Structure 1
Amino acid sequence: MNTLTQSILLALITALAPADWLTGTSNLSRPLVTGALTGLVLGDLKTGIIMGATIELAFMGAITIGASRPPDVPAGGVLGTAFAISTGKGAGFAITLAFPVAALYLIIDNLLTIVILPIFLKKGDKYAEQGDSRHLSRMNMYGFITVKCIPRAVFVGLAFYLGGPVMTKLLNMIPDFVQNGINVAAGIMPALGFALLLEMILKKNVAIYFVLGFALYSYLKIPILGISIFAFCLMYIVLHLENKIDANKLNNNQGGDDDNEF
């Protein structure tokens, strides 16, 4: 498969990634998915999954909060994985490249959102005043495709086709203090991602399971697959017991109600 074909396929992957926002969070935009698809296009699925998972850890804490937007995850995930595979460099290179690329495209995306998207919004307002829901829906879709899908696909496709040297020149145009900040963030983001994830799911009733998993891996040297199987079995047992307890409580309550009727 030549470079042009690979570039077109990577552009298509990137164009489909924003559909994640239309499909009920299907995770199409996440590096774990785009990395695997990128590896499939470049003929190295295993490395694509590894690179995608590594970049996923780095971007795990990158979420949009209000008007604060993180670097563009789809563009960084696809190009970081693609260049890491094509150059034969490791996961560190993938993360190092993914963040500057994602930050660069974020600037482009913000400009497009400010300049182009209002055109569709104004037309949408016009159709809304007329009660034309059909054309209003079309304006939403056209604006999404024009601003969020096509430019991102063109950026990724051209970047990969032109190759690493061109991207290096573009990234060198970014001031040193910005690049240094991005490099520092690249090291912090995986830890931040885990911290945010734990903040959401680490409750008193599940904290013991994290300790158990750590002990199994650190002291008993059980591999991740073994721990996953053990966790699945434990989850099944706990859910079965909880359902049984809930059923007994329900039966007891119904029995109590019957006694009160007499």
Structure 2
Amino acid sequence: MKVFIITVLAFFLGIDDVSTKLFRRPLLIAPIVGLILGNLQAGLIIGATLEIMWMGIGNVGAYMAPDLITGTMISTALAIMGNPGRSISTMVATAITLAVPTSILAQQLLILVETINCSLNGWAKRLADKADVKGTFWLTWPPAILYGFTRAFPTFLALQFGAGAIQKVVSDLPKFIIDGLSTAGSIIPAVGIALLMMSMLKKAELWMFLILGFVLSSYLKLEILPITLIALVFAFLYERATRETTTNSATKPAMAQETSSDDIDEEDYDL
């Protein structure tokens, strides 16, 4: 029954991914899967870990990113179902190990679906030429349903035939492999955060805020909430300062031009 519920959830998440995009992130998907399987705590931790690992991933231009939805659904479900009674760190390590290959495999299905959807372009153009609003609306449903099956079908196969195999494999794994997976589970999110920071901290002065946050957390031992409130104040002050600097730099040339034009008018008047 749980496999069926997760499969239906994967179907609707596939439709949501091409419509509202409300539940397409691991941080939201994994806790729902954990709640269905009766282990919300593991779902929350797995979701947070996968979210950090995949935070900077997205479709850019023609590039199709790995399927985060299918990867999160399968890896979270199999990690919880295949590790009953194990520690949460073991579940997280298993989820990370399964997330990357499953998301890449599901990525190939998405590319296939995108190719099939291109065949609807001619039909859509004919409807648009006729101003057929109702027909254009109904034409959005076949791709959406296809996206739903693209997420539901691999999820069902993996959960129906892979949970027992995963449980047996994980149970037979030596301790040093489990420890290695746990270590990888700690390193990979840090790498994801580092890549995200490198793309966001492009200005040299922004690194000062990183240093401030490190000092507040590591040396002053502040909790997340006070650090967030302090960061909010600094962000407000930085935004105000940069806005005033931009405004002043934009008004100075205009004032200089106005002054020069006034001088010219006075000279013309004297003549």
Scaled by the length of structure 2, the TM-score of the pair is 0.69
- The aligned counterpart of 1:110 is 111
- The aligned counterpart of 1:149 is 148
> Take 1:232 and 1:45, find their aligned partners in 2: how far apart are those partners?
30
- The aligned counterpart of 2:191 is 191
- The aligned counterpart of 1:91 is 92
Change in CA separation of 1:90 and 1:48 when aligned onto 2, cut-off 3 Å = same
Question: 1:36 is aligned with what amino acid?
Answer: P
Q: Which structure 1 residue ranges, 5 or more long, are not aligned?
A: 169-183, 254-262
- The aligned counterpart of 1:139 is 139
Return the match for 1:77 from 58, 72, 77: 72
Q: Which stretch shows the higher mean deviation, 60-69 or 71-80?
A: 60-69
Deviation at residue 229 of structure 1 after TM alignment: 4.5
Following TM superposition, where does structure 1 have runs of at least 4 consecutive aligned residues deviating by more than 4 angstroms?
165-168, 186-190, 232-236
- The aligned counterpart of 1:172 is none
Deviation at residue 50 of structure 1 after TM alignment: 0.5
- The aligned counterpart of 1:42 is 37
> Take 2:190 and 2:138, find their aligned partners in 1: how far apart are those partners?
39
> Take 2:9 and 2:54, find their aligned partners in 1: how far apart are those partners?
18
Deviation at residue 125 of structure 1 after TM alignment: 2.5
Which runs of structure 2 are paired with 1:152-163 in the superposition (5 Å)?
Answer: 152-163=151-162
Q: Contact conserved, 1:124 with 1:140, CA < 8 A, in 2? A: no
Q: Contact conserved, 1:7 with 1:158, CA < 8 A, in 2? A: no
Question: 2:12 is aligned with what amino acid?
Answer: L
Can you list the C-alpha shifts for 1:143-199, whole angstroms capped at 9, x where unaligned?
2222x112212221332122335679xxxxxxxxxxxxxxx9x96675245423442
- The aligned counterpart of 1:174 is none
Change in CA separation of 1:141 and 1:187 when aligned onto 2, cut-off 3 Å = farther
Q: Contact conserved, 1:13 with 1:34, CA < 8 A, in 2? A: no
Give the 3-state SS of the residue equivalent to 2:12 in structure 1: helix
Larger Rg belongs to:
2
Give the 3-state SS of the residue equivalent to 1:63 in structure 2: coil
Q: Which stretch shows the higher mean deviation, 83-92 or 67-76?
A: 83-92
- The aligned counterpart of 2:52 is 57
Q: Contact conserved, 2:18 with 2:144, CA < 8 A, in 1? A: no
> Take 1:189 and 1:126, find their aligned partners in 2: how far apart are those partners?
47
Change in CA separation of 1:188 and 1:67 when aligned onto 2, cut-off 3 Å = farther
Q: Contact conserved, 1:84 with 1:90, CA < 8 A, in 2? A: yes
What CA RMSD, in Å, does the superposition of the two structures yield over aligned residues? 3.3
Return the match for 1:22 from 14, 19, 22: 19
Q: Contact conserved, 1:14 with 1:78, CA < 8 A, in 2? A: yes
Q: Contact conserved, 2:70 with 2:103, CA < 8 A, in 1? A: yes
> Take 1:118 and 1:216, find their aligned partners in 2: how far apart are those partners?
52
Deviation at residue 52 of structure 1 after TM alignment: 0.7
Scaled by the length of structure 1, the TM-score of the pair is 0.71
Q: Which structure 2 residue ranges, 5 or more long, are not aligned?
A: 168-183, 252-271
- The aligned counterpart of 2:26 is 31
Change in CA separation of 1:227 and 1:153 when aligned onto 2, cut-off 3 Å = same
Give the 3-state SS of the residue equivalent to 1:164 in structure 2: helix
Question: 1:46 is aligned with what amino acid?
Answer: Q
Q: Contact conserved, 1:60 with 1:194, CA < 8 A, in 2? A: no
Change in CA separation of 1:50 and 1:35 when aligned onto 2, cut-off 3 Å = same
Q: Relative contact order (alpha carbons < 8 A, sep ≥ 6): 1 or 2 greater?
A: 2
> Take 1:232 and 1:62, find their aligned partners in 2: how far apart are those partners?
26
Deviation at residue 98 of structure 1 after TM alignment: 0.6
- The aligned counterpart of 1:13 is 9
